[in-house]
Amino acid sequence: MVNGGEEAEYASNTDAKSFMTEIVEVQSNSKIDEFECALAVGRNIKSVDDAYLLYCEYAHMKGFSARRGKEAYFSGSTDLYMKEFECSSQGIKDRKRSANNNRPVYQNLETRTKCKARLRIGRKKNENWKVTIFESGHNHEMAADGQKYLLRSARKVSFAQGETLRAMSNAGIKPSNALSYMENESRGVENLGFTRKDAYNYLNQATKGHLRVENGDAFELIRYFKTKSNDGDLFYWDIEMDEDGLWRKMIDDFGLEEHSWLSGMYKLRHKWSTAFSIGKFSAGLKATSRSEGTNAILKDGGKRTSTLSEFVQKRWRMKENEEDFKCHHKMPTIVVKNQPLLQHAASIYTIEIYKIFENELVNSLNIEFACPPSFMEN
């Protein structure tokens, strides 16, 4: 039972939290008003870059993502006289195929809502930049305070952060552990300035061009050897594909003929070695793939000293928050345009549940597609 004193303390704490929330909202609204005043029509702007940074800060504060838009140049010159910055939900999706990807663009999630919010700056020859158009109204939902860090224009791996990631990676620290450290140092992932996906993309880009031979990279190694042999006459290489011969050579070199465990593993080689199961269908799955995937999640989620509550709140809650953000600000592309049932399902289901529903409905109608839709990718 809860006594009167505990009830009073609980009510007091609740009132305090509500009061603090109201203060934060008032401060946020006040800051937004300041930005809108600075972006009002007729205001002077130092440069195009300053205008973009100012609009991005305003967008982050308000809860939308910004991007660069149209621009125009003085006749016969490379000098700009007009530049626009707009909400990332402006316009409609291009239904054509991407020039750099064989996958149809229509399979990507919908993010465009024909939003009209934008900032335009302009100038006359040899004069300063000024705000000529500022439309602040949006036709879509703003990101919640706890999800604003996921906005694309608010995310960037700074030079210092990138150097820290590279140094820790070069020292043999797993990216997931390096990111956990940086998140703790920033007092939360929302204060880091980028997501884990951004960090992995940064590291992949930083190591691009450097040959890294890892498990399964045999073909890359062969390609490298071919390149080396073409560069000089003194480089020679050969490859042996006889797996049985390699195994026996290892046993002989290290005197392991009487090793019972290795002998047992050799007898079972057709069950665990991919070299002996190339001709067997497995749908790309390995016997341990499920447990390895689960272990990866658990290892990335926390330390051995982490409590169950800390683990759930830190990793799975963060993932849930990211999925919630995606469902609020993106929509699945409906495979059959103007189909009322699918439109209604897309408006009430999460993206993943909608894909399952769409798959079931399309299969029940026995529809064939020239290009496989999104739910048939995997």
For residue 19, what pLDDT band results from cuts at 50, 70 and 90? very low
The answer to whether 150 and 109 have CB atoms below 8 angstroms apart is: no
Q: Is 340 helix (H, G, I), strand (E, B) or coil?
A: helix
Distances (CA, A) of 93 to 16, 117, 226: 45, 17, 44
Does the pLDDT at position 174 exceed 70? yes
Q: For position 313, what pLDDT does the model report?
A: 64
Helix, strand, coil % in the chain, rounded to nearest 5: 55, 10, 40
Query: Furthest-apart CA pair in the chain: how many Å?
Result: 90
pLDDT, mean of residues 34-57: 92
* pLDDT tens for each residue of 220-255: 667 777 776 666 656 666 665 566 777 777 777 788
Burial of 44 (0-12, 13-18, 19+ CB in 10 A): exposed
Domain ranges of the chain: 4-96+109-146, 159-206, 332-376
pLDDT, mean of residues 369-373: 61
Between CA 106 and CA 334 the distance in angstroms is 9
Distances (CA, A) of 241 to 14, 247, 269: 69, 11, 15
Query: Which sign does the torsion angle of CA 275, 279, 284, 287 carry?
Result: negative
Between CA 266 and CA 269 the distance in angstroms is 5
Residue 254 CB neighbours (<10 A): 10
Q: Could you tell me which of 193, 198, 156 has the C-alpha nearest to residue 52? A: 156
Does the pLDDT at position 286 exceed 70? no
Between CA 107 and CA 332 the distance in angstroms is 8
Query: Which sign does the torsion angle of CA 152, 158, 161, 166 carry?
Result: positive
* pLDDT tens for each residue of 300-316: 555 566 666 666 666 67
For residue 364, what pLDDT band results from cuts at 50, 70 and 90? confident
* Mean pLDDT, the chain, whole residue set: 76
For residue 219, what pLDDT band results from cuts at 50, 70 and 90? low
* pLDDT tens for each residue of 201-217: 888 887 765 545 454 45
Torsion of CA 162, 165, 171, 172, to 10 degrees: -140
- At a CB cut-off of 8 Å and minimum separation 6, what does 212 contact? none
pTM, entire model = 0.58
Burial of 109 (0-12, 13-18, 19+ CB in 10 A): middle
For residue 42, what pLDDT band results from cuts at 50, 70 and 90? very high
Region of 42 on the Ramachandran plot (φ > 0 left; ψ -120 to 50 alpha; else beta): left
